[in-house]
Amino acid sequence: MASFVTLEELKSFHSIDREIFSRLVLTLQRDLGESMQVIGLWLWLEEAGYDNLVNKMLPLPDALVNALADEAVTCLACIETGQLLSPYENYDIALTHSLMQKEISIQFFHDNRISALGGVTKFVNDVCTRAFSDIVQQALYFEGNAAQSTAPQYRQRPMVTGEGSSSASNVRAQVMLPSGLVPLVHPGYSLPFFSGRIVPPHMVAVGANIPQVSPSLDPLGTAISNQQPNLEGILSEEFSSRVNLDSRPPSLSDEVPQEQRTIFLTFSKGYPISEGEVMRFFTRKYGDCIETIYMQEVDENVQALYARLVIREASTIATILKGKDKVKFVINGKHVWARRYVPKKQRS
């Protein structure tokens, strides 16, 4: 039976997104509302088929995460304006492309603008404002203290006070952002898509004693500042190291028979769940732990009532099942029961 997803369930499901959001607003001190929109964009991209995008960012250094967020803001600006005009049309999102290891460009966001407007707004309002509420409070607290003690002057990102509307999405924007470091953002407040025109960000603190982590990107995306590390090279090295890890000799865990690394899932009749939903849920909650999924083979338009989830490492099963024989998960409001898989030959 479908049920309302509790706040704790939502936070648990989006634990990886919460970690990246925390790095954006606490470590990198990026704008709160804008960072929610950045996460919303990445979640929409995952829904559009760019799998595990946020999960891939976890091992990356802060400078790379910050640069990826800057590229996301550029994409958001294209979505908002609906135009491919300078300085956006030639902007190179090479880091995002490298991370995804899949074809993507600014043109993609322009061509899918209407879908993106609705998708990002949905994720910001339905997910980010709830799942990140405690992080928002923490950021506001620290920013408020910083403003009172040091009062550094910032070149603000153009997330300006005002109203805006989009005929494509019929979304009316009403965001009030006071000057300084403390935007008026409250948990549970439904953020609109944009409060005003956004351009590629270059927030630089003047006189503030904080690390300068923001990469200085050329406005047209044609080059990365010579004063900054070669971020694209770092990202390439990061993926090369992962390839090397993936090519290592099989470990003892890898040699465990598949049937001993399998979880059996059962679904509620009348509440169909797709293979993609299962994959996204467990990947987001436990990382890249799934080797394969075997859904019940059924005719077209017939609901699958069970599935076998093969885990890469046998030890992960204990984490997923929390030491119990049977546990319940809620995937998009639908109940799913999980237990260790027992082959028929062992049951007979």
Q: Do 192 and 43 reside in the same domain of the chain?
A: yes
Q: What is the mean pLDDT of residues 167-183?
A: 34
Of the listed ranges 9-23, 75-89, 260-274, the least confidently predicted one is: 75-89
In this structure, are 308 and 188 located in the same domain? Answer: no
Determine the longest span between alpha carbons in the chain, in angstroms.
Answer: 74
* C-alpha to C-alpha distances, 37 to 30, 223, 282, 329, nearest whole angstrom: 12, 25, 24, 27
Answer whether residue 101 shows pLDDT above 90: no
Judge contact between 50 and 104, C-beta under 8 A. Answer: yes
User: How high does pLDDT run on average in the chain?
Assistant: 72
Mean pLDDT of all residues in 107-136:
91
Contact 278/293 with Cβ under 8 angstroms? yes
Q: Record the pTM.
A: 0.53
Q: Is residue 251 part of a domain?
A: no
**In the structure, what pLDDT confidence band is assigned to residue 341 with cuts at 50, 70 and 90?**
very high
pLDDT of 25 > 60? The answer is yes
Helix (H, G, I), strand (E, B) or coil at 120: helix
pLDDT value of position 23: 93
Judgement on whether residues 265 and 190 belong to the same structural domain of the protein: no
Query: How many distinct structural domains can be found in the chain?
Result: 2
Assess whether 228 and 274 both reside in one domain: no
Average pLDDT of the segment spanning 163-188 = 35
CATH of the domain at 286: 3.30.70.330
Lowest mean pLDDT among 55-59, 249-253, 300-304: 249-253
Please report, in angstroms and rounded to a whole number, the separation of the first and last CA atoms in the chain.
31
* Contact present, 45 and 123 (Cβ < 8 Å): no
What is the predicted pLDDT for the residue at 346? 61
Instruction: Tell me the residue range of the domain where 264 lies.
Output: 258-347
User: Are both 213 and 268 inside the same structural domain?
Assistant: no
Q: Does residue 250 belong to any structural domain of this protein?
A: no
End of a domain among 209, 241, 273? 241
Highest mean pLDDT among 47-56, 180-189, 263-272: 263-272
Cis preceding-peptide flag for 215 (omega within 30 of 0): no
Residue 249 lies in a domain: no
What tokens does 7 get?
């706040």
Predicted confidence at residue 90, as pLDDT, reads: 47
DSSP string, 286-336: H-S-EEEEEEPP--TT----EEEEEESSTHHHHHHHTTSSEEEEEETTEEE
Q: How does residue 158 score in pLDDT terms, banded at 50, 70 and 90?
A: very low
Q: CA 2, CA 271: separation in Å to the nearest integer?
A: 7
Lowest mean pLDDT among 10-24, 53-67, 75-89, 122-136: 75-89
pLDDT at 147: 56
What is the rounded distance in angstroms from the CA atom of residue 211 to the CA atom of residue 63? Answer: 11
192 plus 110 within the same structural domain: yes
- DSSP structure string for 125-185: IIIIHHHTHHHHHHHHHHHHHHHHHT--EE---S--SEEEEETTTTEEEEE---SSS----
Let me know if residue 65 belongs to a domain: yes
End-of-domain residue from the set 191, 208, 241: 241
For the stretch 205-264, pLDDT in tens is 333 333 333 333 333 333 333 334 455 555 555 554 443 434 444 444 457 888 889 999
* Per-residue pLDDT band at 34 (split at 50, 70, 90): very high
Q: Are 333 and 2 in contact (CB under 8 A)?
A: yes
At residue 160's C-alpha, the angle toward residues 171 and 73, to 5°, is: 70
Do residues 235 and 262 share a domain? no
Q: What is the pLDDT of residue 251?
A: 46
- Among the candidates 189, 207, 241, a domain finishes at 241
- Does the residue 157 lie in any domain? yes
Same domain? 171 vs 267? no
Is 276 inside a domain boundary? yes
Question: Does 30 fall in a domain?
Answer: yes
292 domain-assigned: yes
Q: Which of 52-56, 94-98, 254-258 has the lowest mean pLDDT?
A: 254-258
